[in-house]
């Protein structure tokens, strides 16, 4: 299924400043980039790079003082999806994990799994291991944490959300990740464009490594999983910030859009909708 997506950002730059953006979509086996346009005004050199730690597509801008920076991004993407059978997807023991996954078992800034071991064990330790246990984590979060704009801030972490029980998509993702790691399930943060999100915004969810791949989970239930288009992955939000800014800058405007381009031949899996199927896009 195909999507048009993108964003428009503008900033008032008061001092000479450096921006690191992470807002372009990646290409994966399940996510094809058909077309893409990135426009910056004024015309500033774009320093593109991939982190050695991921395939995220960062770019850096150095912007002079007293500039109104405008950034416009548009992409056309074709998503296919890997659909698995939740009933047959197993957890992988640390003994058998591909070694590059071990990193995603460790605690990180916003996912202090080391401090949530007993809580995770008490709530989920008795459940059957496998895909369904991560689903149970998402259900727990959906039921017990209130989605509330402005209820958290950039310092809020999974440790806080576990107790304070309120947050936004980023907090839901952090808590899901922390619970997974506390149960020895590798988990990572996903930033994404999300079809159907109201109001339109950048979105965050998470992936857990199960069976032989990364499966997508979204405890917020605010957008269909097969309408998510991946921007970046990382240990947590600190790795995939939309923009990291060094300097005196005011954001002035942010618009995000995601448009579904229906095909005349679409099957039922090819329509963006909430699903209980196991779904992978990485």
> Is residue 144 a contact residue for its own copies (CB under 8 A)?
yes
| Residue-wise burial string across 213-222, b where 16 or more C-beta atoms lie within 10 A, e elsewhere | bbbbbbbbeb
Binding of residue 146 to its own copies (CB under 8 A): yes
Candidate list 27, 41, 118, 251; residue touching its own copies; CB under 8 A = 118
**Residue 199 sits in the site that holds its own copies (CB under 8 A):** no
Q: Which helix (H) or strand (E) holds 256?
A: strand 249-261
Q: Number of residues interacting with its own copies: please give it, by CB under 8 A.
A: 44
Distances (CA, A) of 247 to 14, 45, 63, 89, 251: 8, 18, 9, 46, 12
- The correct pick among 31, 112, 135, 233 for binding its own copies (CB under 8 A) is 112
What whole-number distance in Å separates Cα of residue 165 and Cα of residue 148?
10
Structure tokens at 147: 């989605």
Question: Mask 203-232, x = binds its own copies (CB under 8 A)?
Answer: ------------------------------
Is 162 one of the binding residues for its own copies (CB under 8 A)?
yes
Q: Which two tokens stand for residue 165?
A: 């029980």
Q: Which of residues 33-62 bind its own copies (CB under 8 A)?
A: 47, 49, 51-53, 58, 60, 62
CA 183 vs. chain centroid, Å, equals: 21
The first and second tokens of residue 43, run together, are: 């015309």
- Note the residues at the interface with its own copies (CB under 8 A): 18, 20, 47, 49, 51-53, 58, 60, 62, 93-95, 99-100, 102-103, 105-109, 112, 114-116, 118-119, 122, 144, 146, 154-155, 159, 162-166, 184, 238-239, 244, 246
């Amino acid at each position: 299924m195909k999507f048009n997506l993108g964003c428009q950002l503008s900033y008032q730059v008061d001092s000479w400043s450096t921006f690191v953006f992470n807002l372009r979509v990646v290409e994966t086996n399940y996510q094809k980039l058909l077309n893409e346009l990135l426009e910056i005004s004024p015309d500033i050199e774009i320093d593109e790079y991939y982190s050695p730690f991921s395939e995220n597509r960062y770019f850096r801008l150095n912007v002079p003082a007293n500039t109104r920076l405008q950034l416009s991004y548009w992409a056309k993407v074709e998503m296919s999806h890997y659909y698995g059978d939740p009933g047959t997807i197993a957890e992988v023991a640390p003994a058998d994990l591909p070694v590059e996954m071990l990193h995603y078992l460790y605690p990180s800034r916003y996912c202090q799994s080391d401090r949530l071991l007993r809580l995770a064990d008490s709530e989920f330790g008795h459940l059957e291991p496998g895909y369904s246990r991560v689903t149970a984590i998402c259900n727990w979060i959906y039921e017990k944490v209130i989605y509330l704009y402005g209820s958290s801030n950039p310092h809020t972490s999974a440790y806080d959300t576990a107790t304070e029980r309120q947050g936004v998509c980023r907090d839901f993702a952090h808590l899901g990740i922390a619970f997974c790691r506390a149960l020895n399930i590798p988990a990572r943060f996903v930033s994404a464009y999300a079809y159907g999100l109201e109001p339109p915004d950048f979105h965050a969810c998470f992936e857990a490594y199960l069976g032989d791949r990364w499966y997508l989970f979204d405890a917020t239930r605010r957008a269909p999983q097969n309408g998510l288009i991946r921007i970046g992955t990382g240990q947590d939000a600190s790795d995939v910030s939309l923009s990291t800014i060094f300097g005196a800058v005011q954001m002035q405007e942010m618009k995000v859009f995601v448009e579904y381009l229906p095909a005349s031949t679409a099957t039922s899996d090819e329509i963006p909708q909430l699903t209980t199927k196991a779904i992978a896009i990485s």
